[in-house]
Each structure stands twice: as structure tokens, then as C-alpha cells.
């Protein structure tokens, strides 16, 4: 199988993380969305990544469709789930994926006020998942499932931001913090991105053009939600 990818695309990471969790062999080909090759446009009706080219040569697009294919075509992460449990997992996964671009937008905020406003939208999703989580390592117990893979993307990026700037998207949510810790310990986050990922991520989200990048340069944000618009510390 092959994934057609963009280095820092969260939707691509979700697909790669699922492939890693299933121990499936795959290749990745990176393209530039500013200069899309014609062969890519021929197989991607929406002109977006990810695209998965299956072992049979079929090109699949839209990450939701791709992960459902991988879960159906190969041994599932969690066996013997009822239709209701599968639907529930899809719903909680969707809550994560519809916030990928919300998080991207927050990370690109140019000032503290904008970051606070955009992060508040992500807070809503984090509050809902915090209320749903139990004390188990993963979403539904002791085994990685589809919901874990979907939320891994958000929590991985939050982890990078906190380590580099001190700004904590997760905040005072103990169950979510514990879940983030367990997911990071699986090393799926690192395995599902390229070696160039953190450098490219930092260049885009932690440059001097972003508030978080200014925090990094100034030694880190000292508070989770900045109250002052004229400085990060």
C-alpha cells in the first residue's frame, strides 16, 4: 500500500497511525499541495491528501473512508464489537477529526487573544472527551482502538506544543492527560510521521509569525490561556 501525503497533515497521520497499529507494510510518497502533480489530481477527486493506493491498485480518498477500509479489510484493532459499539467509535472519532483544523488554526494564531479564542473551540471537544473517559489506559479499555487512533493526532500535536512552548492545550483534564501519556508511550505518534515532521511542524506553527513561536523564542508561555495580548510571559 502507498499513502500520498503532506508532511504535517493531521489526516494523513491518522491513516499512518492506524497502519502502524495494525503492523501493516506501506510506503509514503510526499507531494507539495502548492504544486500538485497531475497523476495525483487524476486519483484524488477533491485534490486533497491523504490518498491511499491499496495493494490492489485502487485509489481511496477521504481519511474517514480510508480508515474504515483498513478496519474492514484487515484484522480489526478490537474484535467482536457490536454495531452499536462500532457506531459509537465512529462518532467519537469524528469528534476528533472535525477538530484537526480547529487545532491547526489555533496553533497558527498571531497573538494571544486569537489563540485564546481559537483554543476555546478545542476546549469544547476536550471537555466532552474528558467526561467520557474512564480510568483505563485507552478509550475503551486496555487495547488501542479506532477512537484512540483518531485522538492521537490532536494529543501528539498538543504534546509537541507544550514541550516547546509551555502552552498546554489539554489543560487541567486529568483523564485526558493520562490518556495522552499512554498514547505517547505507544510510540505510534513518532512512527506515524516522517523524520522531517517536527522540523516542518515547528517551521509552520512555531515560527516568529505565530504567538506560540514567539513564546518559544522568549522562553515559553507561563500560563495556559494567555491573558495579555502584548506578550506570552
Query: CB–CB of 67/20 below 8 Å?
Result: no
Question: Which of helix, strand or coil describes residue 52?
Answer: strand
Give the integer Cα–Cα distance in Å for 115 and 96.
19
Give the integer Cα–Cα distance in Å for 166 and 8.
21
Query: CB–CB of 144/185 below 8 Å?
Result: no
Q: What is the dihedral of CA 193, 195, 196, 198, to 10 degrees?
A: 70
Residue with cell 492506524: 18
Give the integer Cα–Cα distance in Å for 180 and 219.
24
Give the integer Cα–Cα distance in Å for 115 and 210.
9
Q: Which of 9, 215, 221, 232 is catalytic?
A: 9
Known catalytic residue at 232: no
Maximum C-alpha span of the chain: 55
Query: CB–CB of 63/48 below 8 Å?
Result: no
Q: Which residues are catalytic?
A: 9
Amino acid at each position: 500500500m502507498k499513502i500520498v501525503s503532506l508532511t504535517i497533515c493531521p489526516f494523513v497521520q491518522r491513516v499512518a497511525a492506524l497502519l502502524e497499529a495494525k503492523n501493516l507494510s506501506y510506503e509514503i510518497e510526499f507531494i507539495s499541495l502548492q504544486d500538485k502533480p497531475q497523476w495525483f489530481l487524476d486519483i484524488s477527486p477533491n485534490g486533497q491528501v491523504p490518498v491511499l493506493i491499496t495493494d490492489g491498485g485502487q485509489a481511496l480518498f477521504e481519511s474517514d473512508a480510508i480508515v474504515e477500509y483498513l478496519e474492514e479489510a484487515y484484522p480489526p484493532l478490537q474484535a467482536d464489537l457490536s454495531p452499536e459499539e462500532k457506531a459509537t467509535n465512529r462518532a467519537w472519532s469524528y469528534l476528533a477529526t472535525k477538530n484537526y483544523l480547529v487545532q491547526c488554526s489555533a496553533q497558527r494564531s498571531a497573538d494571544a487573544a486569537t489563540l485564546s479564542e481559537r483554543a476555546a473551540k478545542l476546549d469544547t471537544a476536550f471537555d466532552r472527551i474528558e467526561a467520557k473517559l474512564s480510568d483505563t489506559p485507552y478509550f475503551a479499555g486496555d487495547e488501542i482502538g479506532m477512537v484512540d487512533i483518531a485522538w492521537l493526532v490532536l494529543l501528539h500535536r498538543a504534546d509537541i506544543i507544550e514541550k516547546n512552548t509551555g502552552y498546554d492545550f489539554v489543560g487541567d483534564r486529568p483523564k485526558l492527560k493520562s490518556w495522552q501519556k499512554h498514547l505517547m508511550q505507544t510510540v505510534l505518534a513518532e512512527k506515524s510521521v516522517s523524520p522531517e515532521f517536527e522540523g516542518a511542524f515547528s517551521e509552520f506553527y512555531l515560527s516568529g509569525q505565530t504567538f506560540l513561536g514567539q513564546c518559544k523564542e522568549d522562553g515559553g508561555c507561563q500560563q495556559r490561556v494567555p491573558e495579555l495580548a502584548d506578550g506570552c510571559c
